[in-house]
Structure 1
Amino acid sequence: MNKLQAMEVFIQVVDTGGFTRASENLRLPKATVTTLIQALETSLSVKLLNRTTRHVSVTADGAAYYERCIRILSDVRDAEDSLIRNRLSPSGRLRVDAPTGLASDVIIPALPQFFELYPDIQLELGCSDRQVDLVEEGVDCAIRGGRRLADSRLVARRVGTMNYITCASPAYLKRHGRPMHPDELVHHRCVNYFSTRTGKVFDWYFTRNDERVQVALSSHIAVSDSYAYTAAGLSGLGIIQMADFLMAHMIRDGRFVSILDDWTNEPLPIHVVYPQNRHLSAKVRVFVDWTTELFARHPTLC
């Protein structure tokens, strides 16, 4: 027996004063209505209705049960309506973590459009290049660049691609010259980037036709933040290799000069990652979908 359906049938019988009208209103066979009422009384071991050939009336126990059924079904409908409203217009706190550069240059400028679509979401956007522990720190989802997903507790959805460009300030190139091959970088000053999680300094990669070069560079300075990294390059501390979406406007205005232009760098996939138990969250789902569309429209991240 479907208990909720039986409650609904019982309420209709009481409200209409008979089985026939209840079956018509519910578009159920009269025999089904009768069977459900009998099954309900059997399961409760209580007589809910007094029946005669002409009239159906509610017993004292039935009247008390009727009031409870009204409240229970009302609560069920409220819960269902709330879920439907939340699916159509998600609401509440959403904690997101993103790398500094992506957050400042891509995500934040587009947030007015996000809030037009989802005005009831309260977004908390953590901006850093530190790789947070989503589960331990209560983060709903994070945007990450990388080819491997190290944490098996997370689900990843690919939303874009980052391309890298090698460049230096005009002052640096005037002072030290322009390298023509990646192997020449060992004779130059370069700015390194290291992981805050592991402390590992990232190697540089170059590809031209069938030639692939991986360079591990010693340097006078290594940083762990994209803006600090860019600032080091602007200060003439050395050559840098940075995501092109951050460098394009600075190359156009002459603050940086791209070098080794006949070499390409292997694109880095961008993922939105989230704990496995958040995959049904409407807030997370709409943010992931919105981010995917945002990056697809971006000239260098799609």
Structure 2
Amino acid sequence: MDTLQNMRAFVCVVESGSFTAAARSLGSTTGAISRAVSELEAHLRTRLLNRSTRHLGLTETGERYKIRCEKILADVNSAEEEASFARERPMGVLRMHSFASLGKQYVLPALSIYRTLYPEVTIELTLSQDMPDLFEGTSDVSVVTAPALPNSDMVSHQLGSVCSILCASPAYVNAHGAPRKPSDLLRHNCLILKTPSERGNCWALEGPDGSIEMRVDGPVKINMAESLAMAIGEGMGIGVLPVYAAIEGLQNGTLERVLPQYVLQRSNVYALYPSRKFVDAKTRTWVDFLRAHLPQFIERDMDLLDEITPAPVGRS
């Protein structure tokens, strides 16, 4: 039994004054409306209407029940309108996830611009190195980096490609010298970035002579690129940083690039969300905004890297 539909039939019968008029109003038949009210009475085990061939009236129970039905149906209609409206107009809470340094360099500036366009959307941003389970509903959209994505039911959009570079502080280079070839790294303090998507102390350098894999070691292991950049800036050693985590330090002089003819860890930037069906307006417009703007942010930083430390290896 469709209780809500039977409630609608019952209220319409009372308001229109007859089963026939209610049937016309609801686009149904007199028999179907009569059965709907009878089903409702059987379900409730009480009479709601007193019927005769010429008269239709509410019982005392029917009067009270009609008031309750009107409130319930009004709430249901409001909920349906609100849900439908959410598909047309960006509003409500947008729950965002991003890897930490990626979020700071790209997602936060993008959110700032997005909010000026859609002020009725509020933001909950989680910065974490862990990939969220978007199907659990904790996040609407995630922005992550990965060499490639495994097969899944998530919808993905590639927003650009990034790479990592070797960096040290000017003080470290002054004290220990700069490596001139990859094998020189073996005599340096190498700072290790330990994250789910990184290979830790196994560095694969791409350069003019192809790919060279180095197994390095050092005194410090850190799980966030932003913190690793600080450790490098403090002169603790040489480390691998994504361009988006290194670019600020390269610009302000707290970092300098070493072995500039080499890059490491090429990966893609993706926007992920759970489903193509019934995507609400805030999620749809945010993903569209990311696709329009993040490639520009990424390209900007790669151009800055070329200006600061020209490298022979082409960008991906």
- TM-score, with length taken from structure 1: 0.72
User: Aligned partners of 2:112, 2:132: CA distance in 1, in Å?
Assistant: 28
User: Aligned partners of 2:109, 2:42: CA distance in 1, in Å?
Assistant: 63
Q: Which residue matches 2:92?
A: 91
Residues 16 and 293 of structure 1, relative CA distance in 2, 3 Å threshold: same
Q: Which residue matches 2:25?
A: 25
Q: Which residue matches 1:212?
A: 211
Say yes or no: does 1:179 pair with 2:189: no
SS in structure 2 of the partner of residue 57 of structure 1: strand
Q: Which residue matches 1:3?
A: 3
Q: Which residue matches 2:65?
A: 65
Residues 16 and 225 of structure 1, relative CA distance in 2, 3 Å threshold: closer
The count of aligned residue pairs is 293
- For the aligned residue pairs, the C-alpha RMSD in angstroms reads 4.3
1:9 positional shift: 1.6
User: Aligned partners of 1:283, 1:226: CA distance in 2, in Å?
Assistant: 33
1:124 positional shift: 4.4
How far does the alpha carbon of each residue in 1:64-86 deviate from its partner, in whole angstroms, 9 at most, with x for none? 33223212212222332343345
| Amino acid in the other structure paired with 2:266 | P
Say yes or no: does 1:111 pair with 2:111: yes
Say yes or no: does 1:241 pair with 2:255: no
User: Aligned partners of 2:62, 2:235: CA distance in 1, in Å?
Assistant: 85
Contact 1:169/1:236, CA 8 A, preserved across alignment: yes
1:98 positional shift: 4.1
Percent sequence identity is: 24
1:239 positional shift: 2.6
Residues 91 and 174 of structure 1, relative CA distance in 2, 3 Å threshold: same
| Amino acid in the other structure paired with 2:245 | L
Q: Which residue matches 1:227?
A: 226
Residue ranges of structure 2 left out of the alignment (5+ in a row): 302-315
Contact 2:92/2:282, CA 8 A, preserved across alignment: no
User: Aligned partners of 1:93, 1:251: CA distance in 2, in Å?
Assistant: 33
User: Aligned partners of 2:36, 2:97: CA distance in 1, in Å?
Assistant: 52
| Amino acid in the other structure paired with 2:4 | L
- TM-score, with length taken from structure 2: 0.69
Say yes or no: does 1:298 pair with 2:297: yes
Contact 1:13/1:22, CA 8 A, preserved across alignment: yes
User: Aligned partners of 1:104, 1:294: CA distance in 2, in Å?
Assistant: 15
User: Aligned partners of 1:43, 1:255: CA distance in 2, in Å?
Assistant: 75
How far does the alpha carbon of each residue in 1:250-269 deviate from its partner, in whole angstroms, 9 at most, with x for none? 44565544343443323234
1:13 positional shift: 1.4
User: Aligned partners of 1:285, 1:78: CA distance in 2, in Å?
Assistant: 22
Residues 93 and 260 of structure 1, relative CA distance in 2, 3 Å threshold: closer
1:165 positional shift: 1.5
Say yes or no: does 1:193 pair with 2:206: no
How far does the alpha carbon of each residue in 1:245-292 deviate from its partner, in whole angstroms, 9 at most, with x for none? 233354456554434344332323445678x8xx99969946973555
| Amino acid in the other structure paired with 2:83 | L
1:97 positional shift: 5.3
Q: Select between 80-89 and 65-74 the one with higher mean Cα deviation.
A: 80-89
Residues 100 and 6 of structure 1, relative CA distance in 2, 3 Å threshold: closer
